[in-house]
Amino acid sequence: MKRIGMLTSGGDCQALNAAMRGVVKCLSCSGEPVEIYGFLEGYKGLIYGNFRMLTGADFSGILTKGGTILGSSRTPFKLMREPDENGLDKVEAMKQNYYKLRLDCLVILGGNGTHKTANMLREEGLNVVTLPKTIDNDLWGTDMTFGFQSAVNIATDCIDCIHTTAASHGRVFIVEVMGHKVGYLTLNAGMAGGADIILIPEIPYDIKKVVDAINKRSERGSKFTILAVAEGAISKEDAALSKKEYKKKMADYKYPSVSYEIAEKIQKKTGLDVRVTVPGHTQRGGSPCPYDRVFASRLGAQAGRMILNGEYGFMVGYRNREIVKVPLEDVAGKLKMVEPDSDIIQEAKMLGISFGD
């Protein structure tokens, strides 16, 4: 009898359900008896013992459903070693709930913060297997995360829709795409949607260069310009500030987001009509695209196989078109960033796309 605990932590995304279904289907098809304990609302459920037994019926019909049947929450890694408001030792509580249920393994689905805590639990002696989910595709050790392609599709659809209204009115449109620290989502959606300017956190922008790119389009007879801007895009001036200086600036920040600051500066420098569109959490929502359904199912199946083989302490990753086992200690605390001199950036520039640098 295999007794498996399962939880989804951090921001939700498409294909979480598909990945969990893949794990359970693999275990069920092995012929070995299995019990699945689903911890509710991420690590909170593991800390406070909030769980429910799951049956095959719970995993039926969820391949196409977005979100997560277990619920999720953000439990910051930096607070894990701190007692809660009642003095509860969170790490010890998670370990005790694991042992109380006599679990053979924890299956944890999440992004960067989730993997830090997962690795900590591994260091504490628990058997852990993780699956890489995030719309940002910023997890180290894997070329792809599930949820990313679905989010790219949604952000691209938004840019596609903006094209017609931008052309009709001759406006500059800014589409703000999710991504605080990493620009993979904005880069891919921007290229797929035909954006003229793409601004990402890894390449600090010069507003003069952005305006120059817009003016050059106008001189060539283009009546509109579309910018795909990551929510974490940063100017060269701000990038040069110390953390303390930048934090002080943001404390008095008057704009809803960086896109509105960029819009105001463009309007003042060019006199053009500028509009901002923020698709926001729609990028996390809805059904997973076919790619993510297949990808998450494959990762889930491999996680199930690893559990059957007693291979613990790994994230199921994807490198060079092959599914691989990545040691958790190699993943935790690392971000996979867009390299400014990478091939995709150079190729985007060959297409005439400006990065404001």
* Residue 102: both structure tokens together: 């006599």
Rounded distance between C-alpha atoms, residue 106 and residue 89, angstroms: 19
In a domain, 342, yes or no: no
Q: Flag whether the pTM goes above 0.85.
A: yes
Query: Over 90: is that where the pLDDT of 195 sits?
Result: yes
Same domain, yes or no: 55 and 7: yes
Q: Would the pLDDT of 231 be above 90?
A: yes
Query: Mean pLDDT, to the nearest integer, of 104-124?
Result: 97
pLDDT for the residue numbered 75: 87
Residue 143 lies in a domain: yes
CATH number at residue 199: 3.40.50.460
On whether both 16 and 135 belong to a single domain, the answer is yes
Alpha carbons 4 and 24: distance in angstroms, whole number = 9
Same domain assignment for residues 9 and 125: yes
Predicted pLDDT at 31: 87
Query: What is the per-residue pLDDT across 297-343, written as a single tens digit (0 to 9) for each?
Result: 999 999 999 999 999 999 999 999 999 999 999 999 899 999 999 99
Quick one: pLDDT band at residue 244, thresholds 50, 70, 90?
confident
Give domain status of residue 336, yes or no: no
CA distances from 279 to 21, 36, 159, 247, 290 (A): 29, 36, 10, 26, 21
Identify the three-state secondary structure at position 86. Answer: coil
Domain shared by 7 and 143, yes or no = yes
Indicate if 22 and 83 belong to the same structural domain.
yes
Residue 353 has pLDDT above 90, yes or no: yes
Quote the pLDDT of residue 269.
94
Residues 193 and 96 in one domain: no
Strand-pair category, 274-277 with 105-110: unpaired
The answer, yes or no, to whether residue 247 has pLDDT greater than 90, is: no
305 belongs to a structural domain: yes
Mean pLDDT of 222-231: 95
The whole-angstrom separation of Cα 282 and Cα 286 is 7
- At residue 214, the pLDDT reads 96
Determine whether 136 is an active site residue.
Answer: yes
Is 77 found in the same domain as 34?
Answer: yes
Domains held by the chain: number:
2
Report whether pLDDT(190) > 90: yes
Specify if 338 maps to a domain. Answer: no
Judgement on whether residues 10 and 132 belong to the same structural domain of the protein: yes
CATH number at residue 28: 3.40.50.450
Whether residues 161 and 84 share a domain: the answer is no
Whether residue 280 is found in the same domain as residue 171: yes
Q: Residue 307 corresponds to which tokens in the numbers above? A: 């559990």
304 part of a folded domain: yes
Asked if 262 and 227 count as a contact pair (C-beta separation under 8 A), the reply is: yes
Average pLDDT, the chain: 95
Q: How far apart are CA 186 and CA 178, in angstroms?
A: 7
The active-site residue out of 12, 136, 138, 292 is 136
Which phi and psi angles does 288 have, rounded to 5°? -70, 145
Question: Is 352 a member of any domain?
Answer: no
* pLDDT, position 170: 82
Q: What would the pLDDT profile of 18-53 be if each residue is shown by its tens digit?
A: 999 999 999 999 988 999 999 999 999 999 999 999
Do 62 and 119 fall into the same domain? Answer: yes
DSSP, res 235: B
Residues 230 and 310 placed together within one structural domain of the fold:
no
User: Does residue 351 lie in a domain region?
Assistant: no
Taking each continuous run of H as one helix and of E as one strand, the counts in the chain are 13, 11
Domain extent for 258? 151-284
Check residue 334 and give left, alpha or beta (phi > 0: left; psi -120 to 50: alpha): beta
